[in-house]
Amino acid sequence: YHPTTTTTTAAISAVELSMEQIICAKPWNCEEALQVAYCESRLNPGAISPTNSNGTRDWGLMQINDVWRQAFPVSWPNVLDAQTNINMAWHIYQLYGWQPWTCKP
């Protein structure tokens, strides 16, 4: 099966729109948050980074680093769920702004 360009474009647009809605539902600057998410994961909620130089990995839409695992013991098993990942990112952002992310707006 080889989807047509139209089908692929429509599917990508729907996924991007869904990710945009989840990201922009938080009261941070929507454009900044979208820039960070696009740079970090290309808006892919299932993104998992290669191992970082310090042995950690980054997970999901906003690429939440392993160092946050203990801060989110209940949510961590769902880190690749877009809404859960954005909720974690929002909490981190409230504490530190964009400082923890490699990609900055």
User: Tens digit of pLDDT for each residue in 16-43?
Assistant: 668 999 999 999 999 999 999 999 999 9
Three-class SS of residue 15?
Answer: helix
Top pLDDT among 7 and 105 is at: 105
Give the pLDDT band (50/70/90) at residue 15: low
Contacts of 32 (CB under 8 A, 6+ apart): 98, 105
CA distance 19 to 46: 12
CA distance 32 to 86: 14
Model pLDDT for residues 44-96, shown as the tens digit of each residue = 999 999 999 999 999 999 999 999 999 999 999 999 999 999 999 999 999 99
Query: What does residue 58 show for φ and ψ, rounded to 5 degrees?
Result: -115, 145
Three-class SS of residue 75?
Answer: coil
* Average pLDDT score over residue span 92-102: 97
Give the pLDDT band (50/70/90) at residue 6: very low
Note whether 22 and 43 are within 8 A (CB): no
